[in-house]
Amino acid sequence: MTNLILHHYDFSNYSEKVRVAMGFKSLRWKSVVVPPVAPKPKLTPLTGGYRRAPVLQIGADVYCDTRIILKELERRHSDPTLFPAGYGGLSNAVSAWAEGPLFRAIMLYAWGTNHDLMPPALFEDRARMRGLPIPSVASVERAAARNAPLVRMQLALVEDMLSDGRKWICGNQLTTADLSVFHALWFMTDRSTRLAYEFDGLPAVRDWLARIRAFGHGTCEELSSDQALDFARTSEPKAVSRSGFRHPEDPDLGALVEVRASDYAKDAIVGRLEFLDMDEIVVLIRNDEVGEIAVHFPRIGFELRAARN
Ligand SMILES: N[C@@H](CCC(=O)N[C@@H](CS)C(=O)NCC(=O)O)C(=O)O
């Protein structure tokens, strides 16, 4: 029986990144569908308030953000690898571009093109999340028009990366960069085929997309959010068995800390600092719904500080 529980929803592109990783590694997993907008009362007790998708749960250990989710999947199921030796620097740099300027342009273009197909509460929810006014339909459409050229010139860069006949973005081996570029491009046509024509004239990109789609999503079975909470309640967090690493500037282990995403989602997760190394932050949280949970975050993309009194 699998102990991997993925909290996700269908049109979440970051969830798609992990679903494809499950397919690449031929994994079995349990699927808990979470709402695409806040509140998420069956998710946030597990995360200490982190509301984004996806989240990976393994008993009373909860992994927030795809960067740490992929690392944990790799630790448990290393073959085939998502992290081939010698590709770390390049794949991280490509992922930062793909999940930054590339995805931002695609998101604004695809949402503006498909706004009539999105859940009505979505635009209001995301504006509230960013502390911005709710956009009008006209402004969403204007953002799409402004971003169309940015999408086209960046899709041409992906075609260029693959134009020497290589199979994968960084060379002969698949890396997390392939998944990062893939989920951004997947968002273009996930809701509708209205933007499919943007891939005309990009034969290397189309072949590469087909290679990644062929991985599938692994084998998944449905689980209710209440069952997932039960798993957490009846499990204990596992002690991290690797040796830790603390920078001199980091808070002490055991201290009450705040962890927050370094981008626009600023809600802090507050807990006791349990473990740190070069890549990972683990905080312990506790509440009546699930007892004690170890919440894992990647270092990259999150800020860690002693909690303010
Ligand atoms: N850096 C995060 C980004 C996750 C993210 O932004 N997910 C989107 C959905 S694709 C989200 O959670 N949006 C707000 C929400 O669903 O509540 C990761 O890699 O997991």
* Res 308: pLDDT: 83
The residue nearest atom 13 of ligand 1, judged by CA position, is 52
| Bridge pairing between strands 28-33 and 5-8 | parallel
Residue to mutate (ligand 1; options 16, 52, 122, 132; most atoms within 8 A of CB)? 52
Cis check for the bond before 149: say yes or no (omega within 30 of 0): no
Q: Which of 234, 97, 197, 231 minimizes the C-alpha distance to 154?
A: 97
* Res 147: pLDDT: 98
Give the Å distance between the CA of 13 and the centre of ligand 1. 8
134 three-class SS? coil
Residue boundaries of the structural domains of the chain: 5-80+220-306, 88-213
Instruction: Calculate what percentage of the chain has a pLDDT beyond 90.
Output: 96
pLDDT of 1 above 90: no
The Cα–Cα gap between 279 and 297 comes to 9
pLDDT band, residue 267 (cuts 50/70/90): confident
Give the Å distance between the CA of 164 and the centre of ligand 1. 33
Q: Which of 146-150, 157-161, 267-271 has the lowest mean pLDDT?
A: 267-271
Residue to mutate (ligand 1; options 8, 10, 14, 179; most atoms within 8 A of CB)? 14
* Res 2: pLDDT: 83
pLDDT of 29 above 90: yes
pLDDT digits (tens, 9 = 90+) for 60-83: 999 999 999 999 999 999 999 999
Separation in Å, CA 98 to CA 113, 148, 154, 185? 20, 16, 9, 9
Give the Å distance between the CA of 113 and the centre of ligand 1. 20
pLDDT of 266 above 80: no
pLDDT of 198 above 90: yes
Q: What is the CATH number of domain 5-80+220-306?
A: 3.40.30.110
* Res 278: pLDDT: 96
User: Is residue 65 lining ligand 1, measured as CB closer than 6 Å?
Assistant: yes
The residue nearest atom 20 of ligand 1, judged by CA position, is 65
The residue nearest atom 15 of ligand 1, judged by CA position, is 52
What's the rounded mean pLDDT across residues 120-135? Answer: 94
pLDDT of 155 above 90: yes
Average predicted confidence (pLDDT) for the chain: 97
* Res 120: pLDDT: 85
Q: Which of 13, 62, 301, 3 minimizes the C-alpha distance to 182?
A: 13
What's the rounded mean pLDDT across residues 99-128? Answer: 96
User: Is residue 13 lining ligand 1, measured as CB closer than 6 Å?
Assistant: yes
Q: What is the CATH number of domain 88-213?
A: 1.20.1050.10
Q: Which of 18-27, 120-129, 300-309 has the highest mean pLDDT?
A: 18-27
Atom of ligand 1 nearest to the CA of 69: 20
**Do 5-80+220-306 and 88-213 show the same overall fold?**
no
The residue nearest atom 11 of ligand 1, judged by CA position, is 52
